[in-house]
Amino acid sequence: MRQSKTLIPTLKETPADADATSHKWLLRAGYIRQNFSGVYSFLPLGKKVLDKIEAIIREEMDAIGANEMLMPALQSADLWKETERWDAMGDELIRLKDRHNRDFVLGPTHEEIATSLIRDEVKSYKQLPLTIYQIQTKYRDERRPRFGLLRGREFIMKDAYSFHATDESLDERYQQMYQAYTRIFNRLGLNFRSVIADAGAMGGKDTHEFMALAEIGEDTIAYSSESDYAANIEMAEVLDTYQFSTEEQKELAKVDTPNQKTMQEVADFLEHDLDQGMKSLLFKADDQYVLVVTRGDHEVNEIKLKHHLHANDVELVDEDKTFELMNVGFGSIGPIGVAEDIKVICDYAVKSMANATCGANEEGVHYINVNPTRDLHDTEYADLRFVSEGDPSPDGKGVIKFAKGIEIGQVFKLGRFYAEKLAANYLNQQGKAETLTMGCYGIGVSRTLAAIVEQYHDDRGITWPVHLAPYQVHLLVLNNKPEQRELAEEIYQQLTDAGFDVLFDDRNERAGVKFADSDLIGIPYRITVGKKASEGIVEFKVRQTNEQDECHQGELVDYLN
């Protein structure tokens, strides 16, 4: 490709809104442009890299027998109401109406569509297991779209859904997916860790996240210095004591009826628009569930919580469950209902200014305590186990260390949550209808692109791994002297014929501009046609290492191979 004929709008200065390293370099090197907050265009260079990442993902998905398809981004709200995610997703779900006033959503993910498709099209155990996947644009009205491609409101995801007759079959698929993800992220050259994650509102039990290690990462990973143990920090803290399963949830759901009015009041109170991140931590101690929502600086809060969880918060549980919401504003207490609401409460609470504490006994969640101003007291809550840096690792091997990670993928055993809600059944060998069990598996494709740049850059621009770079060779011609132009044209032809993907900087720009742009863009091999063109000699440079050499035109193909 001739640079004069493509669109690579490089920038000399860093745009003021570039809030992450990858964001800065992708903008400056002309890979992406923002349309509005959280929504981007991929320019030709960005699209080429995206395609290479997607090709690797496709190869690994196809290799384990997943079937690619494409589902709609525009979805009827009906299915979302059936699974109750119409409410559960809250403000993150982008909703719209058509001319007949019917409700629609722009898909943030595709469990509803995938499950209803399989419900309608798969009837027998003979057709199972079955795995489908797609690479598609997703929409989420993120509270804080930021860091460029890392947290967008429109982004590209690979999402896969597997359907099974038995739990064993799901376990097997989960392992295969986990291995495929490991291969994908290795092939993408990422420094990553897979961590034990929190199944949360998805209703699943077993789940792992894949985290690209990077300082900009919004997740904290606790990992062992000497073993494979790694968990996201929330899970590391609750892992030993808290296990969430749909069965457990169902049991809990039988107990008590939620006081909807009270819950709504709490929700309304918490419904402030807060421009700071909140984090919720769920603990189980002494047969009680404790949800703590922190605001402001998570690191400071986590440390505070570790040492100052207020025991009285737990004692606030009113055993006869009859109390009403009190004193909204400075500490409010009210019955909240079932364990499934924990996530709903979290979601409300994360938007609030408040510290919210929600407790429960074995039967369910019974109170939430909201306090926007109070400092946590000094009393330690005895049975809570916390993980901090330098404690022993839970598996007994080595000590815990913390690292920041970007969630680039997640694998989930969803179980029967969606299949039950959507009545997705199959006929077993005896001809009896049974509920399907499911897994779902996501990779943030556009986020992964940015994560790669977080790990592959220097102070001059991007330093792509060879197989992911938009072009393999960047050919520069320094001025318009006929011998330089002619040699450059010959090399362009020669390398293109030999199968190399070459970007040829044929623009009428100063040498300094061409070198700076070339460093920004980050193509692995640079060939510069300059002073020694009449002798057929060019300069050869490796972007990642800065190694530099002269070589003759005739040696170039060998050199590159």
Select the span of 273-281, 366-374, 387-395, 401-409 touching ligand ATP (CB under 6 A).
401-409
Query: Can residue 152 be called a binding residue for ligand ATP (CB under 6 A)?
Result: yes
Q: Taking CB under 6 A as the rule, which mask of x and - marks residues 446-475 in contact with ligand ATP?
A: xx----------------------------
Of 110, 151, 208, 543, the residue at the interface with ligand ATP (CB under 6 A) is: 151
Interface residues for Mg ion in 395-414 (CB under 5 A)?
407, 410
State the nearest-atom distance from the C-beta of 348 to ligand ATP, in Å.
17
How far, in Å, CA of 532 to CA of 534, rounded? 5
Return all residues near 47 (Cβ < 8 A) that are at least 6 apart.
none
Select the span of 45-53, 319-327, 337-345, 440-448 touching ligand ATP (CB under 6 A).
440-448
Query: Can residue 442 be called a binding residue for ligand ATP (CB under 6 A)?
Result: yes
Select the span of 113-121, 180-188, 301-309, 406-414 touching ligand ATP (CB under 6 A).
406-414
| Residue 142 binds which of ligand ATP, Mg ion, none (CB < 5-8 A, kind-dependent) | ligand ATP
| DSSP track, 383-444 | T-----TTSBPTTSSSBEEEEEEEEEEEEEEEETHHHHHTT-EEE-TTS-EEE-EEEEEEEE
Give the end-to-end CA distance of the chain in Å, rounded to a whole number. Answer: 20
State the nearest-atom distance from the C-beta of 219 to ligand ATP, in Å.
7
State the nearest-atom distance from the C-beta of 43 to Mg ion, in Å.
26
How far, in Å, CA of 4 to CA of 133, rounded? 38
Number of residues forming the site for Mg ion (CB under 5 A): 2
Query: Can residue 522 be called a binding residue for ligand ATP (CB under 6 A)?
Result: no
- The DSSP 8-state label assigned to residue 118 in this structure reads H
State the nearest-atom distance from the C-beta of 442 to Mg ion, in Å.
7
Query: Can residue 232 be called a binding residue for Mg ion (CB under 5 A)?
Result: no
State the nearest-atom distance from the C-beta of 131 to Mg ion, in Å.
19
Query: Can residue 444 be called a binding residue for ligand ATP (CB under 6 A)?
Result: yes
Burial class of 7 by CB neighbour count within 10 A (0 to 12, 13 to 18, 19+): exposed
Element (H, E) at 167: helix 167-187
Planar angle of CA 385, 235, 386, nearest 5 degrees = 20
Query: Can residue 136 be called a binding residue for ligand ATP (CB under 6 A)?
Result: no
Q: Which residue has the tokens 């609401």?
A: 341
Check: CB of residue 510 under 8 Å from CB of residue 521.
no
Check: CB of residue 514 under 8 Å from CB of residue 529.
no
Element (H, E) at 138: strand 130-139
Interface residues for Mg ion in 406-465 (CB under 5 A)?
407, 410
| Residue 279 binds which of Mg ion, ligand ATP, none (CB < 5-8 A, kind-dependent) | none
Three-state secondary-structure class, residue 265: helix
Which one, 79 or 157, has the nearer CB to Mg ion?
A: 157
Check: CB of residue 211 under 8 Å from CB of residue 192.
yes
Phi (first) and psi of residue 183, to 5 degrees: -65, -45
Residue nearest to ligand ATP (CB): 444
Select the span of 58-66, 119-127, 387-395, 443-451 touching ligand ATP (CB under 6 A).
443-451
Check: CB of residue 218 under 8 Å from CB of residue 450.
no
| Residue 310 binds which of ligand ATP, Mg ion, none (CB < 5-8 A, kind-dependent) | none
Give the pairing type, strands 32-36 and 437-444: unpaired
Angle between helices 445-455 and 21-28 (to 10 degrees): 100
Residue nearest to Mg ion (CB): 410
Which one, 155 or 525, has the nearer CB to ligand ATP?
A: 155
| Residue 447 binds which of Mg ion, ligand ATP, none (CB < 5-8 A, kind-dependent) | ligand ATP
State the nearest-atom distance from the C-beta of 284 to Mg ion, in Å.
21
Check: CB of residue 301 under 8 Å from CB of residue 323.
no
Interface residues for ligand ATP in 157-196 (CB under 6 A)?
157
Of 140, 208, 295, 474, the residue at the interface with ligand ATP (CB under 6 A) is: 140
State the nearest-atom distance from the C-beta of 209 to Mg ion, in Å.
6
SS (H, E, C) 299-368: HHHHHHHHHHCCHHHHHCCCCCCCCCCCCCCCCCCCCCECCCHHHHHHHHHCCCCCEEEEEEECCEEEEE
Which one, 259 or 410, has the nearer CB to Mg ion?
A: 410
| Residue 394 binds which of Mg ion, ligand ATP, none (CB < 5-8 A, kind-dependent) | none
State the nearest-atom distance from the C-beta of 233 to ligand ATP, in Å.
13
- The DSSP 8-state label assigned to residue 146 in this structure reads B
Which one, 115 or 410, has the nearer CB to Mg ion?
A: 410
Contacting residues toward ligand ATP, per CB under 6 A: 109, 140, 142, 151-152, 155, 157, 407-410, 442, 444, 446-447
Contacting residues toward Mg ion, per CB under 5 A: 407, 410
